[in-house]
Structure 1
Amino acid sequence: MKYSKQWLVATRTLALVLALAVAACSEDPLEEPDPVPAQDVWISEPDTSTGADDVSLVDASNPGLDAPAQADTADAAVGEDEQPAAPLGALADGLELVGIEAFQTIETRLVEAGERVESPIPLIALRETLFRVLVVTPAGWTPRPITLHVRLTDTSTGASQLLTTTQNVAASSTPGERASALELRVPGAVMTAHTSAAFYLVGEGAASVDSAGSHLARWPRDNTSMPLAARATTGTLHLVLVPMRFDTDGSGRLPDTSPAQLALFEQLLRAIYPAHVLRLEVREPIAWTTSVRWGDFNRELRALKQADGAEHAYYYGLIRPKETFAQYCSGTCTTGQSFTVSSADATSYRVGSGVGFSGEDWAWTLVHELGHMHGRGHAPCGVSFWSADSSYPHTRGIVGVRGWDARNDTLFGPSEVTDFMGYCDDTWVSDYTYLGLLTRMQQANALPGAMGYSIPSRWRYINWSDTEAPSWGRDSLEVNPTTGQWATASFFDADGRTLDTLEIPHIVYAHDGERSVLVPQPPAGTARVQIDAPSKNFTLAQGL
C-alpha cells in the first residue's frame, strides 16, 4: 500500500495512491534466522461465554499490565435454561414479519417478501451477528412498542437461549430507514454451526406465541425453527505479527505493538474477515540493519516463517523506519507489501509487511496486505489499470452490497463505500472480495496439519521490478517452494548447449510490479540461465 504526502496535505486525510517502485536487489548469502518460536506476548482468542468477546491485551514490555477491552453487546435480555427457552406473551395482531436480514460483515438475506431465500453469503459460526426484522403494518396502525423475541437453539445439544429487544413500531419497514426495522445484536458465542432460530413479534394480540397453526407475526410461521447454517469451515485465521527493530540508523526503533494498537488490529480483523476463529500473536522482534526495501523484508520474513516451522500461519512484519509517518513519507511512499499467494497450499508465501506507526490507518494496511496473502488482487479504485483485478464486478471499486461495521454499529449502502483492496478512502468489503476470502480460508482450513515436506534443498532468488532489471538475490533453503504459478528455467553451457529445462516457481508481489523466481542448483557446467516468466523473459550469467 502507498501514500502520497502532498495529497494528505491537500485533503487532510490519509489516502492510498500509487507509489514509486520498491525494487528487489542482490542480497546477502543465505543466513538462516535463528529458529525462535513465536511468543504468545499477545493472543486474541474467541470467548465462549454468552456475552461479547473479551480481549485481553498484554504489553510486551510489561507482561503484568492487562488492558481488557470488551466489544459492544446488544441491548437484549439473554436467558439460558436446561429446557428450551420459550418466548412469552401474545403475537402482535395485524403485524406481518416479511423480512429477516443478518449482518456479520455484509448482508446475508434470510427471508424476503415473506419467503425463505438462500443467500450466497453464508453466516460464520462464532461471529457476532446483527439481525434486522422487517415488518408490514396494516391500515390504521397506531405506533406502539413491539418486542422482538429471538429463540436460538443449538440442535446438537438442545440448549436454547431467548434474546429480546423492544422498539416502537410506527409504520412498515422502509428501505434506507434503519429505524423502521427491529434490530437485535447476537453475541458470537451463541452462533454455533448447529444454531437454528425462531423470530416472534410480541405485542397486543389474541394468539399466544406458541399457538398452533400459521401466524404472520412469527418466522417460521408454524412455530418451528429455521437453521442458520453458520459455517465453521473457514477455521482459524492465525496471524503472527513480527516487530522488526530498525537498527539501520542506530535507533533500535520498534513498531507500535501497544495494547491499544493491537486492539485496533484485532477489532478490524474480526469485523472484516470471515474467520471462524481468530488467533493473533506477537512474536519476538527481529533486527533489521539495511535499507527499506519491501521485497527484502518479505524474503527475510519468509525465511523466518520457515525456520519457525509456522507452516499454516500468516506472518506480517511491522517496521517503523522513522519516528513518525510524516518523517517517513516525504513524497510518495510505500506503506506495505506482500506476496500475492495464488494457491492455498503455497503456505510458505503467506508473508507480508507494513509500516508500524500508531493508528487505525495501519490496521487497514494490515488487512489489505493480508488480502493479498489470501490471493486477492486490487479493487479498481485509486490503482493503475494494469494493477486492478480485471474480474472485479463493481464499477469504481464500490462494494456493491450492504455492509455492517460491528465496531461502531454502522450500516453501509452498496455504493457508499469502496472495497478495502483498492486505494480509496471510506472502505469496507465487497461481496466479491468477501467470498474470495471465504473460499481461500476454507481451502486453507482443509489442508492437512502437516504437509509432509521432504529434506530442504538450496535455491536462489532472481528478483526484478518495473524499474530494476533482473539480478541474482539471496539463497534460500526450500522444501516445497511452489506458488501455483510457474516460469521456465533453461540452463546452457558455455557453447550454448541446453543442459536442462524445468519449471520453477514464479513469485508475484502485491505492489510495484515486483517479481521473483526461485532457481534450484543448476547442472554442472552451466554458464547462463534463461528465464521465461509470465511477466518477463531474460538471460543471466550463472550465479549459483
Structure 2
Amino acid sequence: MNVRMKLFMGLTAVLLLVSLFISQTGRNHRLFAGSDYAIYLPLVTKPVSKDLTVTGVEITQAIQRADNSVPLVANRNTVVRVFAEAPVGGPINNVVVRLTAVRNGSTIGQMNSAPTTIPIDATRDNFNSSVNFQLPAGWLSGNVNLTATIDPDNTVPEANENNNTISQTINFNTVPDLQVRLVPINYTHTGPTAPGFYPAQSVDYISDWLMRAYPVGNVEIAIRSPYNFTGNLQDSNSWVNDLQTGLLNRMRELKLFDGYSLNTPVVYYAFVPISNGSTRWFFSGIAGIGWIGGRESVGLNLMGFWPADETGKLAAHEIGHNMGRRHAPCGVSGQTDPNYPYPGASIGEYGLDIPNGVFWSPATAVDIMSYCEPAWISDYTYIGIYNDQQANGFAAMNDMAVDSLIVSASLSADGAVTLAPSYAFASYPAADGGSDYRVELLDENGNILVSHPMQLREAEEEEVSARELTAVLPLPTTAAATLRLMHGNEVVASRSLSNPAAFGPQTATAVRQGNRITLTWGLVNTPAVVRLSPDGGQNWTALGIDVTDGTFTVDATTLPASENGLFEIILGNTGSKVVLTAVLP
C-alpha cells in the first residue's frame, strides 16, 4: 500500500493506492489483492494552539510608574522589566527573550535571557513574572531605543508571530553627583545618660543607601577632619537653638568658614557617634535634623546598634529635607507635606533596590520622608529630589572671594529674633534672599551703607523645630557702625559693631607642645573664628567658632596634612574685616 498527498478540489487529501482483485461468487463480491484502487481521505490538521507576546516594558532605577514617566539618570543601575506573556497555551517553557539597544541608529548591544518559563499573565506586582535585564554600563547614557523580542529565533510555533516585539526610546539624563562632606564629630556629651567623651568616627556608612535610592549617578563622599562639639543631644536645644550654638547651626557656619558659598551644592552632614567602646549615650529620641532647602544636616551613627541600613536611611531622610522634601504622612505628629499624593505615606508605585534585589510594593513600603517602616523612596520624593538636584546641584562658587559679612539670627515661634555674632572675612555674597527679612549696615551717622536680603530656613523633627535667617553680603568700603535686621519697615534686632581701630595692633601666636598647638591672641570676650589653611590660604578648615577666651588649643594629629600651614583668627562683631594670622608651628 502506497500513501501520497494530493490536492483534490482545492483540498489536501491522502491518496492510498491499494492493489486488489475481485472474486464473484453468486451475488457476493469480494476484493482480493491484485488490482490498484485510489482511495481519497481528507487530511484534517489541528491548528497551532500557542501564542507568545510582549505587552510592555518598565525601566526602573529605584522606582517607576506604569507609563515610565519617572526620569532616568545617566550612569545609574537600571533594570528593564519585560512583560512577556503566553496567553494561549501558556505557561510555555524554555523561551528566550532578547533585548536590543540602539543609539543614533547603531546597535550598541543585545542581551538574551536564559531560557525561561513564560507565564499566562505578567504583572507589575509580581517581579518574578517579568523577564528582567540589568543593563550594562555602556547603555546608560544618552537616548537609547530598546527593543524586546520574545522567541527571537522562532523556536515556538505560534498562531500569531506579529506580537512578539515591542520598542521604547528612553533618555538617560545627566544629573550632578551628590556631594556630601561628612563631618565626624568629637562629641563631649553633657546629658544625663553616660556623659563623657565620644570620639569621632570617620567612616562612610551613608553613601550605600543614598546610592541605592537617590536619583543620582554617583554619591561623592569627602570625609572632613573632625569637629569638636560639646552639648546634650538628649535635649533639643543642642540640636538647634535660639543662641545659634546648636549642632545644626554650626554646620551652616562651618561650611562658610571652610570656604564654601552659602548656596553651594555640597551637603555638610554632621556625623555624631553614640558609643565609645561599650558605653552608649543614645537609646531613643531625636536622631537627626536638617534644614529644609539648605544643604546642612545632622545625623547619628547608629551602626552596630540598629540594622545596618538605618544609618544610611537616616541620612537619606535628613538630606531629603536639605533637598526641599517635607515629612510624608506616617508616624509624624507635626506638619507633613500637604502635597504628598498617597495615604499613609505609601511609596505609591513599585520600587526596586537593584544592588540588593529587593522588590518594594506600595501596599507595604512607605516613603523615606515618613517615620514608618519598611521605608523606601516614593516616586513623588524621587522626582522631587531629582528636580532639586537638577536645579541646584550644578551651582558653582563665584570665581573669587570678596570681603563679606556673614550675618545670622534665629527666629523663634513668637517672631523674636536673636542675633548670632557676625564675621567679616573673604567669602562669596549670596544675592537671593527668599524672605521678607533683610540686613542693613549703617555708618556712624545712621546712613544706610548696605541693605541686603536674608535667607529664611526651617527645620523640624519630632520634639524640635527651628527657623534661621542668614545673609552673606559684600562689605562696604566704609566701616559700618551698626547692624540691624529689618522685617518690612520694622527693626527686629540690632547691634553696635566694634571699630577695628579700637583693638589697636594685634598679633596671634601659635606654640606647639608635643601634639598640642595653642593659639593665643588675648582678646577675651570678643567672639572669634579659628581656622587653618594647609596650603597658605587656598583652602580652609574651621576649627573653632564663637571662641571667646582669646586662646584656642588643638590636637595637631587631627589637623589636615600641611606643608604651608596658616592659622586665621577672624574677630567677630566688627564694622570691617579684622583677621589675625599665625604660622602653623
Q: What is the match of residue 397 of structure 1? A: 345
* Partner-residue secondary structure (3-state), 1:302: helix
- The answer to whether 1:338 aligns with 2:280 is no
Q: What is the match of residue 235 of structure 1? A: 176
Out of 239, 259, 264, which is 1:294 matched to?
239
1:289–1:277 distance in 2 versus 1, CA, 3 Å: same
- Judge conservation of contact 2:54–2:166 (CA < 8 Å) in 1: yes
> Aligned-pair distance for 1:227?
2.6
* Partner-residue secondary structure (3-state), 1:474: coil
- Judge conservation of contact 1:103–1:129 (CA < 8 Å) in 2: yes
Q: What is the match of residue 61 of structure 2? A: 104
Single out whichever of 399-408 and 294-303 deviates more from structure 2: 294-303
Q: What is the match of residue 127 of structure 1? A: 76
- The answer to whether 1:268 aligns with 2:225 is no
> Aligned-pair distance for 1:467?
9.2
Q: Measure the CA separation in 1 of the matches of 2:156 and 2:283.
A: 70
- Whichever residue aligns with residue 319 of structure 1, its letter is V
Q: Measure the CA separation in 2 of the matches of 1:174 and 1:286.
A: 51
Out of 467, 470, 474, which is 2:421 matched to?
474
- The answer to whether 1:506 aligns with 2:455 is yes
Unmatched segments (≥5 aa) in structure 2? 1-48, 241-245, 498-572, 574-585
> Aligned-pair distance for 1:313?
2.0
Out of 274, 278, 281, which is 2:222 matched to?
281
- Whichever residue aligns with residue 422 of structure 2, its letter is D
Matches within 5 A, 1:407-486: 407-447=355-395, 449-452=396-399, 454-466=401-413, 470-476=417-423, 477=425, 479-481=428-430, 484-486=433-435
- Per-residue CA deviations over 1:132-161 (Å, capped at 9, x if unaligned) read 121332433353121222123444875324
- Per-residue CA deviations over 1:311-347 (Å, capped at 9, x if unaligned) read 432221101255489943466x321122222xxxxxx
Matches within 5 A, 1:246-257: 246-247=187-188, 253-257=198-202
- Whichever residue aligns with residue 439 of structure 1, its letter is N
Q: What is the match of residue 328 of structure 1? A: 281
- Whichever residue aligns with residue 177 of structure 2, its letter is T
- Judge conservation of contact 2:419–2:493 (CA < 8 Å) in 1: no
- Whichever residue aligns with residue 132 of structure 2, its letter is E
Q: Measure the CA separation in 2 of the matches of 1:504 and 1:456.
A: 17
> Aligned-pair distance for 1:252?
5.1
Q: What is the match of residue 325 of structure 2? A: 376
- What TM-score comes out, normalization by structure 2 length? 0.62
Out of 76, 101, 106, which is 1:152 matched to?
101
* Partner-residue secondary structure (3-state), 1:355: strand
State percent identity of aligned pairs.
19
* Partner-residue secondary structure (3-state), 2:58: strand
Q: Measure the CA separation in 1 of the matches of 2:89 and 2:230.
A: 75
Matches within 5 A, 1:521-532: 529=484, 531-532=486-487
* Partner-residue secondary structure (3-state), 1:137: strand
- Per-residue CA deviations over 1:280-338 (Å, capped at 9, x if unaligned) read 2222222224554223323333333334445432221101255489943466x321122
1:291–1:455 distance in 2 versus 1, CA, 3 Å: farther
1:159–1:491 distance in 2 versus 1, CA, 3 Å: closer
- The answer to whether 1:354 aligns with 2:299 is yes
1:468–1:423 distance in 2 versus 1, CA, 3 Å: farther
> Aligned-pair distance for 1:370?
0.9
Single out whichever of 468-477 and 280-289 deviates more from structure 2: 468-477
Q: How many residues matched? A: 421
Structure with the higher fraction of residues in strand conformation = 2
Q: Measure the CA separation in 1 of the matches of 2:60 and 2:272.
A: 35
- The answer to whether 1:312 aligns with 2:265 is yes
* Partner-residue secondary structure (3-state), 2:76: coil
Q: What is the match of residue 17 of structure 1? A: none
1:458–1:539 distance in 2 versus 1, CA, 3 Å: closer
1:141–1:320 distance in 2 versus 1, CA, 3 Å: closer
> Aligned-pair distance for 1:204?
7.4
- Judge conservation of contact 2:274–2:282 (CA < 8 Å) in 1: no
- Per-residue CA deviations over 1:15-53 (Å, capped at 9, x if unaligned) read xxxxxxxxxxxxxxxxxxxxxxxxxxxxxxxxxxxxxxx
Q: Measure the CA separation in 1 of the matches of 2:91 and 2:441.
A: 87
1:279–1:501 distance in 2 versus 1, CA, 3 Å: closer
> Aligned-pair distance for 1:238?
1.5
Structure number with the bigger relative contact order (C-alpha 8 A, sep ≥ 6) is: 1
Q: Measure the CA separation in 2 of the matches of 1:538 and 1:382.
A: 36
Single out whichever of 282-291 and 156-165 deviates more from structure 2: 156-165
> Aligned-pair distance for 1:489?
4.3
> Aligned-pair distance for 1:428?
1.3
Q: What is the match of residue 525 of structure 2? A: none
Unmatched segments (≥5 aa) in structure 1? 1-91, 110-116, 221-225, 342-348
* Partner-residue secondary structure (3-state), 1:362: helix
> Aligned-pair distance for 1:248?
5.7
- What TM-score comes out, normalization by structure 1 length? 0.66
> Aligned-pair distance for 1:98?
0.5
> Aligned-pair distance for 1:411?
1.9
Out of 167, 175, 186, which is 1:245 matched to?
186
Q: Whose Rg is larger?
A: 2
